[in-house]
Amino acid sequence: MQVELVSPEAVLFSGECSQVVTRTVDGDIAFLDNHAPFIGALDIGQTQLWANDGVVSLAINGGFVEVSGNSVTILSDGALAAQDINIQDAQSDLQAAEEALNADADDGAAANAKKWAETRIQVSSAV
Amino acid sequence: MAGGQERILRRRIGSIDATKKITRAMELIAASRIVKAQGRVQAAKPYSEKVTDVITNLAGGGAGVDHPLLTTAEQVDRVAYVVIAADRGLCGGYNNNVLRAVERAIEADKSQGRDYALVLSGKKAAGYFSFRGYEIHAAYEGFSDQPNYNDAKAMAESVAELFESGQVQQVQLAYTHFLSMGSQEVAVEQFMPLEPSEIGADAAEDADSGGYEFEPEPAEILGRLLPRYAEARLYAALLEGSASEHAARQRAMKAATDNAEDLKINLTRIMNRARQDSITTEIMEIVSGAEAMSQDDDDGLKDIIEQSLEGSFASLASDRNDA
């Protein structure tokens, strides 16, 4: 199936894939060829694309996925490919977010920041 | 004396030449940036098109059109203007065109008894409105050259908050639409509430839902998607503004360079004439001096004068070659 990963600034990936795994707000979901039409909101998490030349792994900071007519479109305003992740930044962000959460456990922005930092670390360390 | 004038002219030509080099450099830089900026405008298109597609499909899937961003107020008391101008000047009428259009719109609103709120992008916009005593709600600067998505996001969030909290009932977006290298147009468009027809959400009733599955509920996805749509739209306006800015700057700097060239040619002519005048005067002085001497019948002296005449012709000739 045809897969496109689009950010506001560029088309980050466009090509043929055999499988796509991503995470919607309700949980992980996988798409194979000829999946039924689907629209979902993406959570902060890892997305993997099984392309012809190997698995592409990305950290997604929220977005949307649309599946129709054997093509998958992922829209995200915060997507980072594994090789573009700065692990030091992610770790320092994680630390800052944890400190903010210790001070105020209900801080939603900090919770998201923590999740985003963890996702980046997970994606970059999986390579 | 004439030599003094010549020196003054030479200095002016030198300074015009220096200015010309600067404007020429700015022209070339702007020209190279237009191409980049246009590329960014193009690169941003797939995203906003896909977002619009998804909204259309969501509406077809039965997502209600009752999001705050889609709600039109019954009465409009206050209108917010999102103004996209440049951080720097020297770009012809680019800034003034947008700013005047906004000022006119505000005047028109005032005559209908509506208040205004200003959200500005670009140093020049902030300068213009604060100088004229307008109240500025928020001003952003530092990215008019090369806006990125996070800039648009920050702006859109503050505008959406203004709108959703009910402080303003309408938001207008004023920017310069980039039609082509040679033509850009100021556009003042409604930004919020979002027009259901524009985003395809009005297709709700008659559209075929296409058997979509949704996760989570369509209405919730729409709620998440609409702010992204607003961001993408603002981002597109910022990008078009930056492309227009570079195009305007390129034109203005080309005109300035051509002007400097004309001025230089004119001044060089005037300077040459002044130099020639001073040479003529000098020759006249020597010749009349020689004649006065020859009447004193001293041939020895005449020889000396002739020699000195030859000498000054030689130096004049070399002078001319230098020039």
Tokens of A2: 């045809």
Phi-psi region of B195 (alpha: psi -120 to 50; beta: other; left: phi over 0): beta
Looking at residue B106, its amino acid is: I
Q: DSSP code of B181?
A: S
What value of ipTM does the predicted structure carry?
0.85
Whether B189 shows a pLDDT value over 80: the answer reads: yes
Average pLDDT over residues A35-58: 91
Q: pLDDT above 90 covers what percent of chain B?
A: 62
A64 chain-B contacts, CB cut-off 8 A: 51, 54, 221, 224-225, 228
Is residue B64 a contact partner of residue B55, using CB atoms and an 8 Å limit?
Answer: no
Alpha-carbon span A37 to A21, nearest angstrom = 16
- Percent composition of chain A: helix, strand, coil (DSSP 3-state, to 5): 30, 50, 20
Chain B hits for A75, Cβ within 8 Å: 47, 50-51, 54, 228
Q: Which helix (H) or strand (E) holds B120?
A: strand B115-121
> Are B178 and B244 spatial neighbours (Cβ–Cβ below 8 Å)?
yes
What's the pLDDT score for residue A100?
87
Instruction: Please say whether the beta carbons of B29 and B246 come within 8 A.
Output: no
Contact B210 A25 (CB under 8 A): no
Q: Of A49-53, A122-126, B262-266, which gets the smallest average pLDDT? A: A122-126
Q: A39 vs B221: CB contact, 8 Å cut-off?
A: yes
Q: What is the pLDDT of residue B123?
A: 95
Whether residue A26 lies within 8 A of chain B, CB to CB, comes out as yes
Which of B43, B54, B218 shows the shortest C-beta gap to A64? B54
A63-97 pLDDT, tens digit each? 999 998 899 999 998 888 888 888 888 888 898 88
pLDDT > 70? residue A28:
yes
Q: What is the mean pLDDT of residues B29-43?
A: 93
The structure tokens listed for B93 are 């009428």
Q: What is the mean pLDDT of residues B122-130?
A: 95
- Residue in chain B closest to A74 (alpha carbons) equals B50
Q: Which of B46, B153, B210 sits opposite A68 (nearest CB)?
A: B210
Alpha-carbon gap, residue B86 to B66, rounded angstroms: 36
Q: At what angle do helices A87-103 and A108-126 cross, to 10 degrees?
A: 150
Who has greater pLDDT, B317 or A40? A40
In tens, the pLDDT along B63-116 reads: 666 778 888 888 899 999 999 999 999 999 999 999 999 999 999 999 999 999
Q: Is the pLDDT of residue A4 over 90?
A: yes
State the count of interchain CB pairs (< 8 A) between A and B.
85
| Mean pLDDT of the residues in chain B | 87
pLDDT score for B129:
95
Residue B323 above 60 pLDDT?
A: no
How far apart CA B298 and CA B273 sit, in angstroms, is 36
Weakest-pLDDT range from A101-105, B59-63, B171-175, B308-312: B59-63
Of all residues in chain B, the one with the smallest CA distance to A23 is B215
Contacts of A34 in chain B (CB under 8 A): none
User: In terms of DSSP H, where are the helices of B87-148?
Assistant: 94-111, 123-131
Given B91, B159, B232, B274, the catalytic residue = B91
Task: Retrieve residue B74's tokens.
Answer: 């019954």
C-beta atoms of A77 and B228 within 8 A: yes
Q: In sequence order, which residues have a C-beta less than 8 Å from that of residue B29 and are 6 or more positions away?
A: none
For B27-249, CATH number out of 3.40.50.300, 3.40.1380.10, 1.10.150.20, 3.90.1640.30 equals 3.40.1380.10
Nearest chain A residue to B221 by CA: give it.
A41
Q: pLDDT band at residue B206, thresholds of 50, 70 and 90?
A: very low
Model pLDDT, residue A80: 86
Tell the residue number behind the tokens 């994680």, with chain if given.
A94
At residue A127 the predicted structure's pLDDT band, cuts being 50, 70 and 90, is low
Cβ partners under 8 Å of residue B47, min gap 6: A6, A7, A8, A9, A75, B232
B207-251 residue pLDDT tens:
455 678 888 888 888 888 889 999 999 999 999 999 999 999 999
| Cβ-Cβ contacts under 8 Å, A40 against chain B | 214-216, 221
Tell me which residue has tokens 């798409």: A31
Which pLDDT band, with edges at 50, 70 and 90, does A29 fall under? Answer: very high
**pLDDT at residue number B223:** 86
**53-112 of A, contacting B, C-beta below 8 A:** 64, 66, 68, 73, 75, 77
Q: State whether residue A36 is helix, strand or coil.
A: coil
Q: What is the pLDDT of residue B200?
A: 64
Active site residue B91: yes
Alpha carbon of A76 to those of A13, A43, A80, B208: distances in Å? 12, 10, 10, 26
Residue B270 has pLDDT above 70, yes or no: yes
Determine which of A5, A31, A39, A112 to mutate to test the interface with B (most B C-beta atoms within 10 Å).
A39
Q: Which of B211, B218, B231 sits opposite A37 (nearest CB)?
A: B211
Fold of A2-82: ATP Synthase; domain 1 (2.60.15)
CB contact under 8 A, B210 and A37: yes
CA–CA separation, B78 and B296 (whole Å)? 98
Given a contact cutoff of 8 angstroms between Cβ atoms, the answer to whether A100 and A90 are in contact is: no
